[in-house]
Structure 1
Amino acid sequence: MGARFPFSAVVGHDDLRTALLLNAVHPGIGGVLVRGEKGTAKSTVVRALAALLPELDVVPGCRFGCDPDVRTDCPDGPHGHGSERHPSERHPSERRPARLVELPVGATEDRLIGSLDLERALTEGVRAYQPGLLAAAHRGVLYVDEVNLLHDHLVDLLLDAAAMGRAHVEREGVSVSHAASFLLVGTMNPEEGELRPQLLDRFGLTVAVRASRDVPTRTEVVRRRLAYEADPEGFAARWAEADADLARRIVAARDRLKGVTLPDAELRRIAGICAAFEVDGMRADLVVARTATAHAAWRGAEEVAEEDVEAAVRLALPHRKRRDPFDEPGLEEDQLNDALQQGADAAQEPEDGPEGPEDPDDDGGGSSPPSDPPPPESTSDASDTSDAQNPNSTDHPPAPAPASTPSSTPAPAFRARLLQVPGVGEGAPGKRSRARARTGRVVRSSTMDGAGLHLLGTLAAAAPHQSARGRSGPGLELRGADLRLSVREGKEGNLVLFVVDASGSMAARQRMSAVTGAVISLLRDAYQRRDKVGVVTFRGREAHVALPPTNSVDAAAARLRDLRTGGRTPLADGLLRARRVLETERVRDPRRRALLVLLTDGRATATGSGGDPMRDALRAAGLLAADRVASVVVDCEHGPIRLGLAARVAGAMEAACLRLEELSADQVAGVVRAARAA
């Protein structure tokens, strides 16, 4: 394997390099989340960081890389000065480089936190712990590429470990706690889906990266990359001194960090800025304070100044100001300037009293920026998702914007009722419908179906036969018939296809506002459950695929902002177009089950064949039922006289039929089974 691309040779990405270097100075900041489009060298920069980290003194033979100068309760210990084993002398040590450990998207919980050592359990009959990737990453870097695609329960585990500095394992008769202090770096492409806000908040800093639009910059990027590919070793050698200088600065900043003071005025400035952004909880204040302290240490100062606070705010707050999944991440310059002014006012005010706050969080952390970092690039990640409106959509103005924006009246929204696909699937990990999976809780053991060895089931099957097999001494004698597999059940994400009636009968402003509000609420639910979403609209003469199925639910919200209404109601064409979309997706991703959500008043006033529009609509609905598509019809009919046409369509589709107001989980308890049981 050739030399890694040098950290110093990266062109641009000043914010990213700053955030990584600050965390290298003080991993307690909480790590870095790198958001950006594909092909922007996210992984290259992160992997290059490991070469800058100082070498470690470790206890020889310790699987957890413990520091010989720190007393710790290690499963391979005890270690460290003052431990019972070595009360008066330093533990023997050896030096090794800091590790970069990569967590693959398909990793299991056993691989992450460790598990029972099967070899020793089966051969020696003893319980022994086999460390996982968290142990390997201790005192190094844990890198998760495409962290937004990682199963949520794995993200929870690694973020908890990063926050506490320890990993706790309680499983299969093993109870172990070990140190797990590491620099956590995650990268993601927002087009492939977002992280939940709760998980976003657990990352200390976030950076948005984009390919430069500047021609000289792009030219230099290509020039350096080609030079590296032609001669990796020679290219790395040309940048070795620059990397070595950065490594020395990291060590110096770490030593200086403990002596950096945070004046009360700057602490009030931080509190004022975080209050101005109305961030939840106190984690943001703590992360900003630690990052500002590290930034001061990096530039060689003994005291935190306003410039350190501003640099920290640009890195620590973009992902914490989001009030809604569809809010754009990033900081607008005007908003930032207003917050900085409020922070400046707070910095000049004396504290009212001596009473200090309680410890609001258990996060560790300080942080420090890169050498004389340039002014951070804007971390705004606003993507241009505006779409050309349908040229024929001139009957009515656009429906009110469903997402909350300062310039628009938000459509009503509510906590959406859970819609599920019936049965048990085998689709992509998510949080909507039941699914057999390689991760999740073990529901039983099996001799045929399953993934991975079910240890207890295997041992239980073998135990009664040991005497007959003539076993003597420790361990068990196993045979093929004893083996049992783990059958796991978790949750899957689905394809949620919204089919929205945008015809004249739905065009009343109040009703369309309610419909778009309902769809936005369902989109929020899809965002949280890691679904793929698509939108089909029908009006006038035909239906249109407003949004092909995608993992980016905020793109769906953007398309709904431009939704035009008016004209006749080609309900049959809408259902047929949805059927074709589902057929295509079934070929592309056959394991992902679909849920069709039709929002309509049930009227049908247009048909491509010139026949009876309602009969054609019911025939199209019957085709969806024949395809066994799990469906929900949302009846949007309004007024004192109701024809019940949506219920007829639902009957033909063999779908559940809900009234618009019944989509609210606050008003209706329970779970809707979207179609007949599979």
Structure 2
Amino acid sequence: MLQLYPFCAVLGADPDAPEGLDDMALALVLSVIAPGIGGVLVRGEKGTAKSTLVRALTEVLPHIEVIAGDRFSTDPAEQQPLSPDGPFDADAAVETRPVRLVELPVGATEDRVAGSIHLERALSEGTVHFEPGLLAKAHRGILYVDEVNLLHDHLVDLLLDAAAMGRLTVERDGISVTHAARFVIVGTMNPEEGELRPQLLDRFGLTVEVAAPQDPAQRAEVVRRRLEFDADPEGFRARYAETEQRLRVRIEAAQTRLPEVELTSDVLLKIAEICSAFGVDGMRADIVTARTAAAHAAWQGRNDITAEDLRVASRLALPHRRRRNPFDAPGLSDGELDDLLPPDTDESPGPDPDTDPDGPDGGGSDRPDGDGAPPPARGDDTGRQEGGPAPTPVGAGEPYKARLFTVAGVGDGQSGRRSRARTSTGRRVGATPSAAAGTGIHLVETVRSAAPHQHARGRSGGRIILEPGDLRRAVREGREANLVLFVVDTSGSMAARERMRQVKTAILSLLLDAYRRRDRVGVVTFRDRGADLALPPTRSVDIAARRLDDLPAGGRTPLAEGLLEAAEVVRRERLRDPGRRPLLVVVTDGRATAGPDAVNRSRQAAAHLARQGVGAVVVDCENGRIRMGLAHTLAEYLAADHVRLSQVSAEALTDIVRDVTREGAA
């Protein structure tokens, strides 16, 4: 049997320690005390015990009673259970079992998550029976989604809607089933791999930022505990058994006390003032903050809510709801909370027993700085030239809505919102045998494939006789996400400040478009003597936006080197993810001035990319009365679309189309 690492053995998750629980452990505990909070999103770098702590959570939760044999974990005390396996007799057998932790893999299909018909019984018996999905299994338990930011958006919508409603209705493949689906959803993610959309981010009740400790003594303690666990799992778990039992009893007591905690009018008004002061959208923030404050009061063994309860609730429930646009980092500052929540006046304030006394402003904190976001990583983008000062970077202007650029043809990449592709969602365009790629059952095509063989199979009436080879799956066409690789000319010919500002504004606008379409993005720059991968492909476009501000300009124009570096990045990414098609956005005026025979070398590099089938767009930055058309020529060698810098915005494209239409009408 798999031995789980103890919850209380994770650094910061021991309730008996003087500093109490850290934010991640506290958020998890409060969510199981009050499931109505809406779950927890844990954001942090890899190797910070996110998965370890979540998997260990079920070990410290009180066991639950369920009706024996029911596939939907119905509570025997429930008066009107919403279970397709019901109705149940009054004397139905009851069993006690631990709370389940259901893990949702990133590659899960909608059928596996929501449930579908039982294929074996449909083919062998000709009857339709519902096969429950993972959400049914997670009822009254915990649903864990690792790397939730990599999950398809429509599945995240499905999970969060079910978590909010407490039920799931499945209407598909000739079935209609509704069952209870009340669970605590816990998602973990590495922000470097990309962000969740703000609409989905808001649906998580609480969010916490985690980072590895920087104190050597703490790091050594983490390693020591892990080595001891690996050497003797049973003995290690036994050392923490008593602590975990006390935590279990305290959680059960808090669950019992929670209905007695009073949310007075004054408390609700103070919550409304806090949410209004932080400028959060909608009313979900107020509701979640109130539920979290009540859960924290119950956790502390109180029936009344204090300023400290409100402080903890605000710190956990509001940071991710302050995002005004995709490039804003979430977070709250302690100074703002201090202004809104002065300490209780009846006694001098002490350290919060559930927070790190050294952070977030103390010297020993491993948490982000005051605004709740870690300082952005900076690459070696200084752009210094030997013997000269570093060029001064030029900032971008306000982004605008960019026109849509797509890859030609139909791909098979991950579901997104850019190019045409065969995906798990979208309109149904055909059918394929069950062994081939497809999604869902195409009932009409399944019956059609079986119809010619009914006489040979001995059918004389009644139900149709099906065999496994008759099964057909639907082929759907939707949109995919792409790898959008920016290849940016930052040479001297682009160095005029206003011109560079226009270029960066256009790139920022295209980055915002890539964020909305769920693309991976990368940035290659070329100037002076060579090319540099300024940002390896990532889903975190906010990191790309920050790197954009630091791009300097100056020097010669090694266009060939920039294109060859882009070709190498595309080659590596195709090995890593063959299904994701690339789209190069080459931002240049088309000049090539670095190295011998620079023009021919750049054209050969462009032709090489075209032969590799890489989709591309050339954004022409040439200006002035006399135009040499070098970027247009480059686009021809790349087999790419050619767009002037002024035509990147969707509004400019609309004006061009309107003008052409008027000329045609005239």
Determine if the TM-score, normalized by the shorter chain, exceeds 0.5.
yes
Q: Does 1:34 align with 2:15?
A: no
- Contact 1:450–1:488, Cα closer than 8 Å, also in 2: no
Asked if 2 retains the 8 angstrom alpha-carbon contact of 1:449 and 1:487, the reply is no
**Within 1, Cα distance between the matches of 2:128 and 2:155?**
24
Instruction: Map residues 145-544 of structure 1 onto 2, 5 A cutoff.
Output: 145-333=146-334, 337-342=335-340, 372-375=353-356, 378=360, 380-388=372-380, 389-392=382-385, 397-402=391-396, 411-437=397-423, 442-447=428-433, 449-451=436-438, 454-456=441-443, 457-471=445-459, 476-479=464-467, 481-544=469-532
Counterpart of 1:648 in structure 2 is 633
Q: Are the structure 2 counterparts of residues 532 and 123 from structure 1 closer, same or farther at C-alpha, using a change threshold of 3 Å? A: same
Give the aligned residue type for 1:11: L
Amino acid at match of 2:330: P
Measured in 2, the distance between the counterparts of 1:194 and 1:596 equals 22
**Which segment is superposed worse, 251-260 or 548-557?**
548-557
Which letter does structure 2 place at the counterpart of 1:169?
V
1:6 to 2:14 alignment: no
After superposition, what is the alpha-carbon deviation per residue over 1:590-643, rounded to whole angstroms, capped at 9, x for unaligned?
332111101122333x1311x3x4444334333322332211011222344444
Give how far 1:455 is off: 5.0
Give the Cα–Cα distance (whole angstroms) in 2 for the partners of residues 474 and 164 of structure 1.
41
Preserved CA contact (<8 Å) 1:15 1:207: yes
Q: Distance in 2 between matches of 1:670 and 1:453?
A: 43
- Deviations, residues 427-474 of structure 1 (Å, cap 9, x unaligned): 344332222345665432124742467351223322453344223797
CA RMSD, aligned part only?
Answer: 2.8
* Cα separation, 1, equivalents of 2:283 and 2:342: 19
The AA in structure 1 aligned to 2:622 is E
Q: Secondary structure at the match of 2:531?
A: strand
CA distance in 1, matches of 2:285, 2:440: 43
Find the aligned partners of 1:443 and 1:95 in 2 and give their Cα distance: 48
Matched position secondary structure for 1:274: helix
Deviations 1:224-257 (A, max 9, x none): 1112112212221221111111111111111111
The change in CA–CA distance for 1:392 and 1:217 in structure 2 (over 3 A counts) is same
Give the TM-score normalised by structure 1: 0.86
Contact conserved, 1:279 with 1:321, CA < 8 A, in 2?
yes
| Distance 1:477-1:636 versus aligned 2 partners, 3 A rule | same
Structure 1 SS opposite 2:214:
coil
Measured in 1, the distance between the counterparts of 2:11 and 2:488 equals 46
Q: How far did residue 54 of structure 1 move?
A: 1.7
Counterpart residue identity of residue 430, structure 1: G
CA distance in 2, matches of 1:68, 1:523: 52
Whether the 8 Å CA contact 2:431–2:442 is kept in 1: the answer is no
What SS does structure 1 have at the residue aligned with 2:320?
coil
Q: 1:559 aligns with which of 537, 547, 550?
A: 547
Query: 1:357 matched to which residue of 2?
Result: none
The residue identity in structure 2 corresponding to 1:58 is V
Indicate if the aligned counterparts of 1:62 and 1:76 stay in contact, CA closer than 8 A: no
Q: Secondary structure at the match of 1:419?
A: coil
Paired AA for residue 454 in structure 1:
I
Asked if the contact 1:69/1:90 (under 8 Å) is kept, the reply is: no
State the Cα distance separating 1:25 from its structure 2 match.
0.2
User: Aligned runs of 1:84-95 on 2, under 5 Å?
Assistant: 92-95=93-96
The 1:480/1:165 distance shift into structure 2, 3 A limit, reads: closer
Higher mean alpha-carbon deviation, 371-380 vs 177-186, is at 371-380
Consecutive unaligned residues in structure 2, runs of 5 or more: 14-21, 346-351, 361-366, 658-666
Question: Please, which moves more after superposition, 181-190 or 539-548?
Answer: 539-548
Corresponding residue of 1:127:
128
**Partner of 1:586 in structure 2?**
574
Report the residue type matching 1:608 in the other structure: G
SS of corresponding position for 1:319:
helix
Unaligned runs of 5+ residues in structure 1 are 80-84, 349-370, 403-410, 673-678
Q: Hey, what's the Cα distance between the residues in 2 that align with 1:583 and 1:618? A: 19
Distance 1:473 1:226 in 2: 68
Structure 2 residue matching 1:385: 3-state secondary structure: coil
Aligned residues between the structures: 628
Return the alpha-carbon distance in structure 2 between the equivalents of residues 444 and 167 of structure 1: 28
Quote how far apart the aligned CAs of 1:395 are.
6.7
CA shift digits 1:502-546 (9 cap, x unpaired): 122222222211211111121122223332222121222333222
2:647 match: 662
Secondary structure of the residue aligned to 1:668 is helix
The 2-side partners of 1:628 and 1:464 are apart by 42
Alpha-carbon distance in 1 for matches of 2:540, 2:103:
25
User: What secondary structure does 1:258 align onto?
Assistant: helix
Counterparts in 2 of 1:62 and 1:214: CA distance versus 1, 3 Å: same
Indicate if the aligned counterparts of 1:125 and 1:474 stay in contact, CA closer than 8 A. Answer: no
d(CA) in 2 for partners of 1:27 and 1:312?
Answer: 14
Preserved CA contact (<8 Å) 2:529 2:556 = yes
Matches of 1:51 and 1:147, distance apart in 2: 23
Q: Distance in 1 between matches of 2:646 and 2:494?
A: 16
Cα deviations across residues 281-311 of structure 1 (Å, max 9, x unaligned)? 1111111111011111110111111100100
For residue 386 of structure 1, what is the amino acid of its counterpart?
A: R
- Paired residue secondary structure (2:51): helix
* Structure 1 moving runs of 4+ over 6 Å: none
What is the CA distance between 1:165 and its match in structure 2? Answer: 0.7
Q: Closer, same or farther in 2 for the Cα pair 1:670/1:307, shift >3 Å? A: farther
Q: Does 1:53 align with 2:45?
A: no
Mark the CA change 1:173 to 1:671 in structure 2 (over 3 Å): closer, same or farther: farther
Match of 1:19 in 2: 27
